[in-house]
Amino acid sequence: MEQGGTRGSGKRRRKRLLLCVSVVVVIIAICAVVLGVTLAQGSDGLKNTFLERCQKFKGYNCEEVWDVFQKAYVNQDPCKVPTEAYDPLVASAPIEPSCNRAMFWSKTKDVVHDFTGKTDCFVTVEDSLLGSVLDGLTWCGKEGSSETLTTGCPDWNTCPDNPVGSFWKRISAAFADAACGNVTAMLNGSITEPFNSRSIFASIEVTRFKSPRMKNLNVVLVMDEKAGTNCTDESLNNLQKQLDEGIKYNCKEVPQSQIEECSSRPEKTCGSCWTKCLAFPQTSQRCEQILGRFEEAYVGQNSCDFPEKRYDQLFIENQFTHSCNKTMFWSDTNDLVHKFTERRDHFITLEDTLLGFIMDGLTWCGKKGSKETFIYQCEKCPVNTVSSFWIKASAEVRVGGNFTRLYCTINLSS
């Protein structure tokens, strides 16, 4: 009995062992199938997202763009994909110049995209075709494989030459190369170093800002209740020093709530959220009114043979302030004069007045029968909306506006 009992017990143990092994094999097989399906879905999902987003842009063969994109990283070590690998991709969908509309950002992505998504004022790198199709996505390849992977890819901190990081560095460089005229950057005023030398904005984009293609960099320092810095921050001083000579720098502290209000009011004029007008406290409550009067002068009018008298009412309502013994005129010395006056408080120029400061470096015009303002579709002619403005402004300085009235009152008896 005892011997028979032992044999029965051994058979039961073997059955249980075989059952356990069978269960493990089944589980492994299921996991392998699930993993394979997941990987396949990941690759297909990335491609579907890429193509779906791409098709919103007219004039591109999205399948061809996808093929060029894959060649940058497929069958490559995911830690050895340099920025140059994306050169053919950028060439296949080049970024168009965005004069006076380019918006850069650092640590302010949500605020910036909330604003640009609700208004038609600015464009970011994520609004370009390539930036749009790959925003928020992860991808990589591996040596010896033709697959595109979406899991297990190195992140930005794992290795510098990862596929995602290298792409954003390359497309950011292309976006900076296309920026021209007046450029805006939203930086985070709630951190101690809004201009971080390790950021893409500092290490790549700013280094490609060149004069005379780019005229002005307007920094919007986004502030909240926990503001960690202001426009006098040392890192922002470093930003100003790094700019190519000839690029004017301006910084404005703007509450995040104010930007959010602008986002909720898309009918609000583009620049009025942090317009240069706000730099003049005495007129900050009238900025919309001033802009309205300014637009009345040229909107719906031909841009050529534009009479300066159309700006009369604008200058009547916004006369120049007194500048006793401080007026500085210039001719063919623009950069030299303004470089001098920006660093010293001894003199002021026409461009330091309210209207001169607001319009300095800008281009604008209207078109007959249109209610729009145009900034880079203006006809080139000797007498136009811009030249007539500056002729009128200069005449106000010379001919007896408040700008020169006290300048001429000099005590000669001493």
DSSP string, 345-408: SS-B-GGGSHHHHHHTT---B--TT----BSS-----SSBHHHHHHHHHHHHHHTTSHHHHTTT
Of the pLDDT bands very low, low, confident and very high (cuts 50, 70, 90), residue 379 is confident
**pTM of the full predicted structure?**
0.63
Which residue in the list 153, 180, 251, 365 is annotated as catalytic?
180
- CATH numbers and ranges of domains, the chain: 62-274 (1.20.82.10), 277-414 (1.20.82.10)
Looking at residue 81, the DSSP 8-state letter turns out to be: -
Q: Can 20 be counted among the known catalytic residues?
A: no
Q: Which of 54, 99, 140, 277 is catalytic?
A: 99
Residue 371, pLDDT score:
83
170 versus 256: which is more confidently predicted?
A: 170
* Residue entry with tokens 């050169």: 87
CA 79 to chain centre: 28
Instruction: Let me know if 62 is a catalytic residue.
Output: no
The per-residue b/e assignment along 220-233, b for 16 or more CB within 10 angstroms, e otherwise, is bbbbeeebebebeb
Residue 1 has pLDDT above 70, yes or no: no
Model pLDDT for residues 176-225, shown as the tens digit of each residue: 999 999 999 999 999 999 999 999 999 999 999 999 999 999 999 998 87
For residue 86, pLDDT over 70 is answered with yes
Q: Pull the structure tokens for residue 128.
A: 């370009």
